[in-house]
Structure 1
């Protein structure tokens, strides 16, 4: 991949030309402009990876332009100041405004190339540290030795060798974002940013600006596509995106370029786009809530992350992973799970999937003491109900004919387990000990909807 895009801002044509030729020989992509106005336009068109900025220029000088860029917050790119008439005060002011370094003319090209290399490496480390701090999951890995998880990892590694679009499906909390990070980590883009945006948390009024960036009164705010340049962008809960922004997203994916909100210059789209959803997007297409053409554009390679119920044999390994991670990173006391506790957790239905398991492990480490996590602690944490005495049933139930009372109990029992398993009929059949065909007949007889209403 290209080592970086550099913007040279200098009013002397010979210096601009010399720098451009030398930097292009080093395989950098280079734009060279003569003043602050042209520099503003160049940055609007495409954010550079680094700027070489002359201080003394007609009109707006380099320090004033640097101050203008820094007013919106920390600089989005490293800036190296260059001057033939530098003073200590100027160098101090440039550093205060966020410049990476200050080089005097005549410029030693050897020194300049080393400074550029160090600045780009420093910026790469800064972005990586920021990415790690923002990362919601503790590791970009998919834990589990079950056949399902081994197959999932194999599929992702094959997909990662391509640059095709991916649509990840799976229940809430099953690890779709972790799967996306695993894919990024095994791709050719792994040394570039991984950016995740949750579209359920973005209002329709701000969705386009969040994704594509914004220009207003000369100020530029980069969006997720620019932040993910060269890397991977995860559009989490893509089903929450409004129809107008869906249309704009489709156009960007098809044209391989986009414009910022309020802007006019097209910007190249250089990010792999992965979408994820726990919704039935095909149903959303049928109900006209999601564009059919966007669905097929995103769904080039479909990938499904299984629910934890489908690979419950991995529960002990996941528990061990989270216990060790929380002990090392959250400074919680290490506790060993007894065999009874592990068996209870392995057989639990996990309606909230891996996210719920992580929360349960964290709760057990925080709220309880002792070297071991016992079965009783797990029962208390999961909220398993205590045995019910006949006196606790409603009097009306005890006065009914046995058949009616039995039907009412069975209806309540099945509704409880359907809600607990998120409507997974196969899991309810396992928990109740019923054959699935018989269970479907029973649900129909009792008028029970297998898909419980959303709360």
Structure 2
């Protein structure tokens, strides 16, 4: 096979509209495509002419796709063609099982045109480069689509898909704690043509101006080479966490790294190509920090190319029942917790709760109700008791909050009170404090100094 277009692709799916759609898409790309509606017709098509690639549905009337792959493995010892699995109702176990059998990738329905074509081209290209080897057995990037049927979530998924198909452009995800920023970062990555490559999260709160370049770019010390995050994530995506905790000097260095298409490792002599997409996530409104001279304007405009605001759960409470069902399924199927029924009254109570911790808090509540409950059905009393207990640990009287101050001064007062309380709980240990609040020590010392906190005077 010397040309990607000079290939034979077989699409196996019992849904005729799916096979017709895939056939039309791939033929428009110049591929030769045949279709089969079940396992039996697929076997006949293979006997007539061995395909280079098979797009195989899991659920079919006569035999499932996993069993069919098992038959091919027994017949051929190793697969003589690439296989990409497809399913609208697959689980992570199905994806892993298919990959172990030699499947190149696992596509979820509904299929997106960009991802379908990208996966097909990668699978065929790997056959050209490594014709004697089986497709790479990588753990599949199994997409968990953000849950919710509300207009807000539907619109958000559409925007995320558009962003995913926009190439290398940097993404900025902004939202409250627990709103799902990481989920959307992974969702965007999984829908892009980078999906089969790594996605790596970097906690910038642990970095400073001295070590940020070595961490991202790597380092050479004689013959010893330390790969940086850019190399480790080559071809994939990098999630930039806690971006606002970087010092201004470190922000400038990060801006230069993002701006350049090539880079040297520290002490390196060979110029390397930068082939990653940056996805920054932040709880802070960076534009406000720019106005207050607390965040680099140059870095902000490099990050804010494709912004996406992730809403709080209070903005789409109608999605709470779907989220409850999703998390019940997750904990029962993946973590083997005991199933409990959530009646309508319970779901309605949770729907009307104020979720300060957003989706992550809801997930935590569902887990606790499954773990701690004794009866088969969740009761309204135990939900009220659990929510009341959580609220009591969170409530701060408005009388104690500096509501009459400008935002910057109010934030400084809160940060000072917060760090003093955390410092005392860590018994005056700076290392423990840095770990607890998620900040690199240099940044933490700088923050303490700016708030006029002397660690030596705190008992």
Q: Give the TM-score normalised by the residue count of structure 1.
A: 0.56
1:159 is aligned to 163
TM superposition shift of 1:205: 4.6
Unaligned runs of 5+ in 1: 4-112, 133-138, 388-410, 424-442
2:286 is aligned to 281
Matched, 1:316 2:321: yes
TM superposition shift of 1:413: 6.3
Matched, 1:140 2:144: yes
Q: 1:227 aligns with which of 217, 225, 232?
A: 232
Give the alignment of 1:12-27 within 5 angstroms. Answer: none
Distance 1:347 1:118, change over 3 A: farther
TM superposition shift of 1:225: 1.4
Quick one: distance in 2 between partners of 1:383 and 1:215?
55
CA contact (8 A) 1:177 1:236 kept: no
1:89 is aligned to none
Q: Give the TM-score normalised by the residue count of structure 2.
A: 0.56
SS of structure 2 residue aligned to 1:383: helix
Matched, 1:371 2:332: no
Matched, 1:383 2:388: yes
- Across the aligned residues of Structure 1 and Structure 2, the Cα RMSD in angstroms comes to 3.3
Quick one: distance in 2 between partners of 1:155 and 1:281?
21
Unaligned runs of 5+ in 2: 4-126, 419-459
SS of structure 1 residue aligned to 2:293: coil
Quick one: distance in 2 between partners of 1:386 and 1:256?
48
Give the alignment of 1:341-360 within 5 angstroms. Answer: 341-360=346-365
Quick one: distance in 1 between partners of 2:342 and 2:246?
42
1:453 is aligned to 414
TM superposition shift of 1:188: 1.9
CA contact (8 A) 2:340 2:370 kept: yes
CA contact (8 A) 1:341 1:374 kept: yes
Q: 2:259 aligns with which of 251, 254, 274?
A: 254
Quick one: distance in 2 between partners of 1:188 and 1:215?
31
1:150 is aligned to 154
CA contact (8 A) 1:207 1:241 kept: no
Distance 1:354 1:118, change over 3 A: farther
SS of structure 2 residue aligned to 1:265: coil
TM superposition shift of 1:412: 7.9
Instruction: Number of aligned residue pairs: give it.
Output: 285
Distance 1:412 1:194, change over 3 A: closer
CA contact (8 A) 1:338 1:373 kept: yes
1:400 is aligned to none
SS of structure 2 residue aligned to 1:283: helix
Give the alignment of 1:101-112 within 5 angstroms. Answer: none
TM superposition shift of 1:320: 0.7
Quick one: distance in 1 between partners of 2:181 and 2:201?
11
Offset from partner CA, 1:104-136 (integer Å, 9 cap, x none): xxxxxxxxx9994566843xx34x36x78xxxx
1:299 is aligned to 304
Quick one: distance in 2 between partners of 1:338 and 1:321?
15
CA contact (8 A) 2:240 2:279 kept: yes
